[in-house]
Amino acid sequence: MGWEKETMSVTGIIAGGRAFGQCFFVSKAAGVHAAAVLDLVDRFILHLATERGLSVSYQILVRGFLEAFASWFKEAHGSENPAQVTTDLITGYLIRRKKDGLATSSARVELIALKIFFRWLAARKHIPADPADAILPPRTERHLPDTLNEHDVRRLIESITGVTPLDRRDRAMLELFYASGLRLAELLDARLENLSLEEGWIRVTGKGSKTRIIPVGGAARDAISAYLEHARPALVRAKSSSHIFLSNRGQKLGPDRIRDIFTERAAACGLEKHIHPHKMRHSFATHLLNHGADLRVIQEMLGHSDIATTQIYTHVDQARLKETHRKFHPRA
C-alpha cells in the first residue's frame, strides 16, 4: 500500500489557540474505500449509546455537530469520504463557525465531538490516521471579575441605617461579605459556634470540604454584634438552628433570598449596577490587592487551591490602571 506524506501548517482554530504543525498520511491505494461520513456517524452514535452508555441528550448534541460538519464537507468539497478529511479542513471549518458567531465554549464542545469521532474512525481503520488529533481546543475566554469601587461598597452598606431585626441582619450580612470575602454558600452555612467576635475570626468550610479561618474586621464585628444582641433573638423560633443569619421565620436563609436582598438594598440606595454576593467577594479581593496585600494571603482568605485563580485579581488591577491611564493621560 502506498502512502503520501503531507506536512501542514495549522494555526489555532480560534482566537487564543496555538499554532502547530501536523503530519499525517492520506492513502493513495486504489483499493481503500471508506463508508460515507453520515453512515459512520450513525455507527458512532450507536457506539456512544451501547458501548459507552452516554445519555440521549449527549448523543443528540454530538450527532448535530457531526451531521453539520458532514453536510459542510459534502457541500464545500464534494466528498463524503472521511479519509479525505484533513487537519486543515477541520481547522477551516471551525474558523468559519467562529466567524459565524460560535462562542468559544461552544467551539470547545464541537471540537471535542469531532475529535472523539475521528479518533474512533482511526481506531477502527475507517481512516488511515486521525486528522483531528493535534488540534488544540481554544483557550477559554477568561472574563475579569466585576467589582464595586470602595465608594460604592461604603454607600451600599452604610445605606442600611434602620434598627429593625431585618435591617440589622442585612447590615451585618453585607459587612461580613465584604470583610471576609465569603462565598455565598459559606455565608449561608456560617454558624454561631464557628464565630469568635472577641478574637475577630470566623471558621468556614468551602469547596472540597476545606476549612479555613478568616479575619473579621472591626466594622463587621460591630454590625454582627448588634445583630446578635438586638435582632437575631427576635428571629429565633423553637426549631431554629445555630446558623448566624435567619429568615423572618427563624429558618436558614436560602441563596435566592440573599441575592434578592442585594438587589433590593442596591436599588434602595440608588446603585444601578447589578450587584450580587460574588461581586462583594471580588471587591474584597481587589481592594485588598489595591492596598498592597500579598497575593498568597488573599489566596488563603479566599480559599483558592491554586494561586492562578487568585492572580485574576492582578489583571483587574492592571485593567483599571490602563483605563485610568487612557482616561487621564494627555497623550494616551
Question: Are residues 74 and 189 located together in one domain of the fold?
Answer: no
Q: What is the pTM of this model?
A: 0.58
Look at residue 134 and tell me if it is in a domain: no
* Catalytic residue chosen out of the listed positions 232, 281, 282, 287: 281
281 is catalytic: yes
Span 178-225, pLDDT tens digits = 999 999 999 999 999 999 999 999 999 998 889 999 999 999 999 999
Helices 56-77 and 37-50, axial angle in degrees (round to 10): 170
The C-alpha cell at 101 is 458567531
**Domain contains 17:** yes
Range of the domain at 177: 150-328
Answer whether residue 145 is part of any domain. Answer: no
Instruction: Clarify whether residues 67 and 204 are in a common domain.
Output: no
Looking at the structure, do residues 53 and 92 belong to the same domain, yes or no?
yes
Examine the residue annotation and report whether 207 is marked as an active-site residue of this protein.
yes
User: 20-60: per-residue pLDDT in tens?
Assistant: 223 222 333 323 334 678 889 999 999 988 888 888 888 89
Q: How far is CA 60 from the centre of its chain?
A: 25
Considering 74, 191, 304, 320, which one is annotated as catalytic?
304
Statement to judge: residues 249 and 176 lie in one domain: yes
DSSP 7: E
Together in a domain, 192 and 78: no
Structural domains of the chain, count: 2
* Residues 106, 45 share a domain: yes
| List 212, 252, 276, 278, catalytic entry | 278
Q: Which of 63, 108, 139, 183 is catalytic?
A: 183
Annotated catalytic residue, options 77, 207, 274, 322: 207
Shared domain check, 311 and 208: yes
CATH number at residue 273: 1.10.443.10
∠ Cα 26 28 30 (to 5°): 140
pLDDT over 90 (residue 176): yes
Backbone angles phi, psi at 130, to 5 degrees: -90, 105
Options 93, 178, 227, 313, the catalytic residue: 313
Q: Do 161 and 108 share a domain, yes or no?
A: no
Residues 176 and 110 in one domain: no
304 belongs to the catalytic site: yes
Task: Identify whether 278 is a catalytic site residue.
Answer: yes
Asked whether residue 308 is assigned to any structural domain, the reply reads yes
